[in-house]
Chain A
Amino acid sequence: MGRYVIRRLLQMIPVFVGATLLIFLMVNVMGDPVAGLCGDKECDPATAAQLRREFGLDKPVWQQYLTYMGNVFTGDFGTAFNGQKVTELMSTAFPVTIRLTVVAVLFEIVVGIALGVVTGLRRGRPVDTAVLVLTLVVISVPTFVTGLLLQLLLGVQWSWIRPSVSAEAPFGELIVPGLVLASVSLAYVTRLTRTSIAENRRADYVRTAIAKGLPRRRVVTRHLLRNSLIPVVTFIGTDVGALMGGAIVTERIFNIHGVGFQLYQGILRQNTQTVVGFVTVLVLVFLVANLLVDLLYAVLDPRIRYA
């Protein structure tokens, strides 16, 4: 187990470097980071050159990358367009997005798994067909459309929720945005659970459990679910990273000041340090989530042993 973790950590290094370098190059090569620093007006050439030297932008890109990453590992993520430290932005933005992600993951677990179990056990019945069609519709409607529609209906027409989330973003206000963020994954969790349940329902060990005279409830919860949820749990685990990165759209619709909002601002103003800083953290979250999921997999399925 220990050796496996070390091997996986080593494997993560090239992926981490590659992904951050890719983003670094995209932001640097394609945009002019200095342009954003003078606010909305053009910088005069002398100031620009001055700024470039100050930020080390006159050096080759690979040196800039190394310097930046060196700073990152000492906890210095640089400065945002408004002079704030990027770490300060992070300390306000990440808690918000983490809360949003928690709400989304809860929706996936509670609603997605429940629907999947119900449909998987009643494959081919009307409930199953209805839920299946519903999941396809949810997957087909892009998140931003779902979000705008829910905002229109619940926020504007019926006034059940505030159409935009306040700066503190408490859990209560994040329920609908969380549902929107989760929607596509939710539909996927439902389908995955359904397939898994329906497949395992015919498994020999389930037949054994029935032949042992166990009550139906116990057959389902202890024998069927435990096996069927292994792929679902791994999906939800890997989805955490994707949700945090995918929150841009949801945060924009509901005006949530989280990671997506800061990234969007950073990109609009071509602020390298904000964008690369946030992406670096997101990539790390994604990689760590994946590693944890693989370790969890071994816990859930005793047949898997890592060497």
Chain B
Amino acid sequence: MPEPQPPRPPQSEPPGGGRAPEDGAVAATGMGGAMDLATSEGATLEGARGPDGAGPRDRPRSLWSDAWRDLRRNPVFLVSALLILFLVFVSLWPSAIAPGNPLACDLAKAQEGSQPGHPFGFNGQGCDVYTRTVYGARVSVTVGVLATLGVAVLGSVLGGLAGFFGGVWDAILSRITDIFFAIPVVLGGLVLLSVVTSSTIWPVIGFMVLLGWPQISRIARGSVITARQNDYVQAARALGASSPRMLLRHIAPNAVAPVIVVATIALGTYIALEATLSYLGVGLKPPTVSWGIDISSASAYIRQAPHALLWPAGALAVTVLAFIMLGDAVRDALDPKLR
């Protein structure tokens, strides 16, 4: 039991965990606040885990099992995890809770409100809003999950290798990430996707991976550098461990936590980004059923039939919120400073 005094922040860093200004030409992500949120919360995590570990192998395990113990008791985590499980279920089997056909529309019923069998009413084309909202989950979740996987794999491989080997490749990679950060993300999406005629989800996912990887790469690079400086890693190096072995066995397990947290929060923001691009008319295109498309088309007659906008918008917001809260809860659980 240590003396019951509050922990003091280390003074070598600027207060408040401010970023190091020597970091390069640019620092903010330009992806909007939520992305910055993800980045910075991942970064605090990475900075907080100093070289105070007991041993090389039991450390990640105890970190994760401690985190799991915390998470099980955290209502925020439980609620968001249940929501996400429900979303995944709905995207796999939408017909389980929505027997209708999302593409079956009856113009005669356009803009009508709630009625028996159609709890959310009808949209501008007379389609059932409930059915479309349920089916919209599939596209949103698919885009979000695939884009996040792509970003996480590409970003952590590139960032991890750059952080581990350093030198010229690291410098080049840092400049490349700077370039991507300098392009506003919605703008990039508009330019790239405006000329794509394919109506599948792949161009959207491809675009997200293309503009999203630098964010994860920066986090991964940072946490690999932090992990590499740990005493036991230096010891392993002194004992002649080979590079691949060190990277996989000693560094990756310690560097992966911030990436997971940022990726979870990013998943939520990708879902929101897909909807935004669809709203701007360059994301997904009908007949794909997506919340973004429905919100976009409903915005034209928002005065007459606001319900057609509110239901998909609500579903979208709850989904994004669930992923952000999950990431937040995981970060809190992994952050020893808040213990």
Contacts and interface: CB of A to CB of B under 8 A. Distances in A.
B97 to A, nearest CB: 23
Interface residues of B, number: 65
Contacts of A279: 183, 187, 191
A158 B317 CA distance: 24
Nearest to A188: B33
B33 A184 contact: yes
27 contacts: A11-B24, A15-B178, A18-B176, A23-B188, A27-B191, A30-B192, A139-B37, A140-B268, A140-B324, A141-B316, A142-B320, A144-B295, A145-B275, A145-B313, A199-B9, A202-B6, A227-B16, A231-B14, A234-B27, A241-B184, A242-B32, A248-B280, A279-B187, A290-B27, A294-B27, A297-B18, A301-B14
Contacts of B15: 196, 199-200, 203, 227-228, 230
B200 to A, nearest CB: 17
Nearest to B186: A248
B73 interface: no
Given A185-B32, A286-B30, 4 more contacts: A140-B320, A245-B186, A270-B194, A287-B182
A101 interface: no
A32 to B, nearest CB: 9
A212 interface: no
B321 A231 contact: no
Nearest to A295: B21
Contacts of B306: 152
A78 B282 CA distance: 26
Interface stretch (A38-46, A48-56, A87-95, A261-269): A261-269
A148 interface: yes
Interface residues of A, number: 81
B316 A142 contact: yes
Given A235-B36, A246-B32, A303 B14 contact: yes
A129 B182 CA distance: 34
B161 interface: no
Contacts, number: 221
Interface string A169-194: 00000000000000011111101100
Contacts of A263: 187, 190
Interface of A: 8, 11-12, 14-16, 18-19, 22-23, 26-27, 30-31, 136-137, 139-145, 148-149, 151-152, 156, 184-189, 191-192, 195-196, 199-200, 202-204, 227-228, 230-232, 234-235, 238-239, 241-242, 244-246, 248-249, 252, 263-264, 267-268, 270, 275, 279, 282-283, 286-287, 290-291, 293-294, 297-298, 301, 303-304, 306
Contact of A148 (B36, B272, B302): B302
A26 B18 CA distance: 35
Contacts of B178: 14-15, 18
Contact of A8 (B25, B176, B183, B302): B25
B21 A294 contact: yes
Nearest to B313: A145
Contacts of A230: 14-16, 18
A26 B191 contact: yes
B195 A231 contact: no
A252 B320 CA distance: 23
